[in-house]
Structure 1
Amino acid sequence: MKITQLKTWQVPPRWLFLKIETDEGCYGWGEPVIEGRAATVEAAVHELSDYLIGQDPHRIEHLWNIMYRAGFYRGGPILMSAIAGIDQALWDLKGRDLGVPVHQLLGGAVRDKMRMYAWTVATAQATSALAPKRWSRKVLPPSK
């Protein structure tokens, strides 16, 4: 299996989503963004794609090191956000390919339940920009 392309979508007002695809039809999703800098992070993702195309997506740590060590200047919020989103997408891809949730790939569940927080605005714009049949859910704290 080889990575064939990285696709990005900017969703108003400030989100960036990434889809990594392979020659076998597998894919994974990530969110490589810094608030207010989606276009800049998107450019970094596309620059990093040169290191990923043709590579085995299951070698996640190897690819992370290639991306991080590829340039003379390392770190910083833009580059690390791009790498983080790619990392998310690679783990998602691997989990989908193996048919297991990502938490199993990372050592297994450590809790039976957990609290969540999500915040969003402009949901009509976001919903129309994302693929059909992808939905968000409102999660409320447990009743006491």
Structure 2
Amino acid sequence: MKITKLTTFIVPPRWCFLKVETDGGVVGWGEPVVEGRAHTVAAAVEELSDYLIGKDPRNIEDIWTVLYRGGFYRGGAIHMSALAG
């Protein structure tokens, strides 16, 4: 199973939802948001999508570790929210 598409949905007044689609037809949803910064987090998710497309979504810990360690501001609110989504 591989991730094929990530789509963010901005929902007023301040939410962001993430839809993750796979080639196996499995769809997952997440909520990567820092209150009041939905557009910023959506942009961060977009940046991470280059790495995520083609990855097996079941390898959660491996994916999380690579994305976390690759972040310039490790532990920052925007980066961590994008990872949580």
TM-score interval for Structure 1 and Structure 2 normalised by the shorter chain: over 0.9
When Rg is computed on C-alpha atoms for both structures, the one with the higher figure is 1
- RCO comparison, higher one (Cα < 8 Å, 6+): 2
Aligned to 1:22: 22
Structure ranking higher in strand proportion: 2
8 A contact 1:16–1:38 mirrored in 2: yes
Quote the Cα distance in structure 2 between the aligned partners of 1:54 and 1:79. 21
**Is the partner of 2:55 in helix, strand or coil?**
coil
Q: Could you tell me the TM-score, scaled by structure 1's length?
A: 0.57
Structure 1 consecutive aligned stretches of length 4 or more whose deviation exceeds 4 Å:
none
What is the percent sequence identity of the aligned residues?
71
> What per-residue deviation string (whole Å, max 9, x for no partner) do you get for residues 28-71 of structure 1?
00000011000000000110111111011100000101111123
**Is the partner of 1:64 in helix, strand or coil?**
helix
The alignment covers a number of residue pairs equal to 85
Q: Unpaired segments of 5 or more residues in structure 1?
A: 86-144
Q: Could you tell me the TM-score, scaled by structure 2's length?
A: 0.95
Question: Structure 2: which amino acid aligns with 1:78?
Answer: I
Question: Structure 2: which amino acid aligns with 1:49?
Answer: S
Q: Unpaired segments of 5 or more residues in structure 2?
A: none
- Are 1:32 and 2:32 an aligned pair? yes
